[in-house]
Amino acid sequence: MGATIQMRVYDDRLSIWNEGALPYGLSLEDLKKEHSSRPRNPLLANACFLGGYIDAWGRGTLKIINACKDAGMPEPEIVEKNGGVSMTLFVQSPGSNVEKGSEKTSEKTSEKTSEKIINAILSNPQITISELSELTGVTTRSVERNIESLRKLEKLKRVGPDKGGYWEVAID
C-alpha cells in the first residue's frame, strides 16, 4: 500500500522516510519519551525488531536516540513531511566538519563516561558492567571499551575473578 520506504545515505547523515501519519494520539515529542507501541509499518517494525533496535514496548525510538548519544552523535531529527514521517541520523551536528568534529565529540563522550565509571567504582569496587551501564546511561559495550582504555592507561585494574572480584582505581 502506498509508497515504499525511502532511505537516503549521505556522507554526513542517513535519512529514512515512511509514508503515513503517526498513529492517532501519538506526537513527534511522544517518540522521544516512553510511549505505547503502535507501529505504523509492521514490516519496518519487524526488521527493526529482528535487528534488536525495538521491542514490544514502544522503546524503539528511545533506543535509537540513546544509541546516537552513546556513539557521540546528535539526537536524530524526526519530522512529519511530504505525507509521511522521516527520521534523520546525523554523523554529527549539521554543518560541522564530519571527521574532526566526530572525533572530538566521541573523545568528550568517552572522557565523561570514563569519569562516571571511575567515580562509580570508587563508590562501589564490586560494581558490575551491567550496573555501570545502567548508571552511566551507555551500553555495556561502551562501558567495556572505556574500561579497556582505562586499563591500558593503567588507571584501572580488576582484582580477582569476574564474579566476586573487585576494581582498583589508580589515583594519580
Q: Which of 113, 108, 102 is nearest to 146 (CA)?
A: 113
Contact 112, 96 (CB under 8 A): no
Can you tell me the mean pLDDT for 143-150?
88
Total domain count, the chain: 2
Q: Tell me, what's the pLDDT at 77?
A: 93
Q: Are residues 144 and 104 in the same domain?
A: yes
pTM to 2 decimals? Answer: 0.47
Band of residue 133 on the pLDDT scale cut at 50, 70, 90: confident
In terms of domains, do 28 and 84 share one? yes
Query: Given CA atoms 77, 106, 66, 8 in this order, what sign does their dihedral have?
Result: positive
Asked if residues 73 and 92 have their Cβ atoms less than 8 Å apart, the reply is yes
Q: Write down the pLDDT at residue 93.
A: 55
Q: Which residues fall within 8 angstroms of residue 23, CB to CB, at 6 or more apart? A: 38, 40
Element (H, E) at 114: helix 98-123
Which position has the higher pLDDT, 1 or 56?
56
pLDDT band at 55 (very low <50, low <70, confident <90, very high): low
Q: Which residues of 68-86 are buried (b: 16+ CB within 10 A; e: fewer)?
A: bebbbbbebebeeeeebbb
- CB 111, CB 61: distance < 8 Å: no
Longest CA pairwise span in the chain (Å)? 63
Boundary of a domain, candidates 33, 68, 90: 90
104 and 79 in a common domain = no
**Is residue 123 scored above 80 in pLDDT?**
yes
| Model confidence at 100: pLDDT above 90 | no
CATH number at residue 82: 3.30.565.60
More confident of the two residues 81 and 92:
81
* pLDDT averaged over every residue in the chain: 80
Q: How far is CA 68 from CA 58, 80, 159, in A?
A: 17, 20, 33
Residue 15's Cβ-count burial label (10 Å; 0-12, 13-18, 19+) is middle
Domain enclosing residue 116, as ranges: 98-169
CATH number at residue 115: 1.10.10.10
Strand boundaries in 20-130, DSSP class E: 77-81, 84-90
